[in-house]
Amino acid sequence: MKKEQKKKEEDKEEKEEKVYYTSKCDGVFKAIFCNENDLSLLKALLEDKLNIKIETMKLLNNELVIDYVGDKIKHVDAIVEVNDKMIVNIEVNGYYAGWRAFRNFVYFCQIIVSRIVNGQSYDLKNEFVQINLTYGLSKKKEIVRNIEYSENVKMLEFNMDKIRDLWYYNDEEEIEKYKYLIMQDLDKEQLDKFCEKFKGDDVIMTYREKLNKLNDGGYHFLTPEEEELYERNTYKEMGRDEGLKEGLEQGRVEGKEEGRKEEKEETARNMLKDKVDVALISKYTNLPTSRIMTLL
């Protein structure tokens, strides 16, 4: 029995050792692409997907303004100011959930609102772009969804599973088009093959170097599956706490109602002692006559 347990523990340790984190984990993406000391990979990614030339760029504070005292701290994955006129919000969604998509949209709106500082007019000088790198979308959905809310506000959502599969389907033209996204969720073996194909591309070579260094560093990042579990458990805890609050409040309400009922019954007893008609007692206490009769 001890041998079996030991074998299970060894197998578990071996499995954990084989975990190769990719940029599907938002922590890995931020560590590699959003390093203030080296934004070269982020620059290459944004130039490629936004089809622009970047002269200047800087990371902005990714902690959003709290609306009221009881609000939770709100973070986005990255906010980047590009060429002093474009604000780009990047979100890595390791799994798809409708509520996350809605939350991302709400946070994006908050970023826009926080940048409207041009008096009482709407600022059309700045451009606002949200880029969603989303895993878990249906393969039936388009490879990239481009929504233009207005002439200076748009959202790009990339179907990352579908994009990754381009590598396995050997679609040469599409692989070239999406190479800086494909590389982000390839395992070590496939990433090595990918680098062999694009061995002249400094961006891809640098990405592999940084990713391998990160994996060799012994860090533990939450996988998308772990992240989903953590979020689900967090909301369960929040729901439990809210339930306790609601239960306490319900107890207060029920206690008040019970107190009022006892008060009415005491009034009814006193009226009965004074020989007041039962129907009249019922009228003034709102107690049913059947209950009043039990108080005799």
The whole-number pLDDT of residue 217 equals 84
Contacts of 97 (CB under 8 A, 6+ apart): 228
Residue 21: DSSP 8-state: -
Between helix 40-50 and helix 26-33 the angle, nearest 10°, is 100
Find where tokens 């003034």 sit: 284
Task: Give kind and range of the element (H or E) at residue 275.
Answer: none
Q: With 60 as the cut, is the pLDDT of residue 117 above it?
A: no
Is residue 216 over pLDDT 80?
Answer: yes
Residue with tokens 């088009």: 177
pLDDT in tens, 47-98: 999 999 999 999 998 887 655 444 556 788 899 999 999 999 999 999 888 8
- CA dihedral angle for residue 102, residue 67, residue 90, residue 30, rounded to 10 degrees: -120
DSSP secondary structure, 152-168, as one string: TEEEEEEEHHHHHHHHH
Q: What is the DSSP letter of 147?
A: E
Nearest to 78 by CA among 96, 94, 58, 98: 58
Q: How many CA atoms lie within 13 A of 147 on its CB side?
A: 10
Contact predicate 30/77, CB 8 Å: yes
Short-list 78, 95, 94, 82, CA closest to 32: 78
Q: What's the CA gap between 216 and 211, in Å, rounded?
A: 9
The three-class DSSP label of residue 230 is helix
Q: What is the pLDDT of residues 1-32, one digit of tens each?
A: 455 565 556 555 555 556 899 999 999 999 99
Rounded Cα distance between 122 and 65, Å, is 20
Question: How far is the C-alpha of 25 from the C-alpha of 79, rounded, in Å?
Answer: 17
CA–CA separation, 64 and 53 (whole Å): 28
State pLDDT tens for residues 128-177: 999 999 999 988 899 999 999 998 999 999 999 999 999 999 889 999 99
Q: Which two tokens stand for residue 234?
A: 């967090």
Phi/psi of residue 52, each to 5°?
-135, 165
Per domain, the residue ranges of the chain are 17-221, 240-294
CA distance 121 to 114: 14
DSSP 8-state class, residue 161: H
The span from the CA of 93 to the CA of 133, in Å, is: 6
- The secondary element (H helix, E strand) that includes residue 12 is helix 2-17
pTM of the model: 0.69
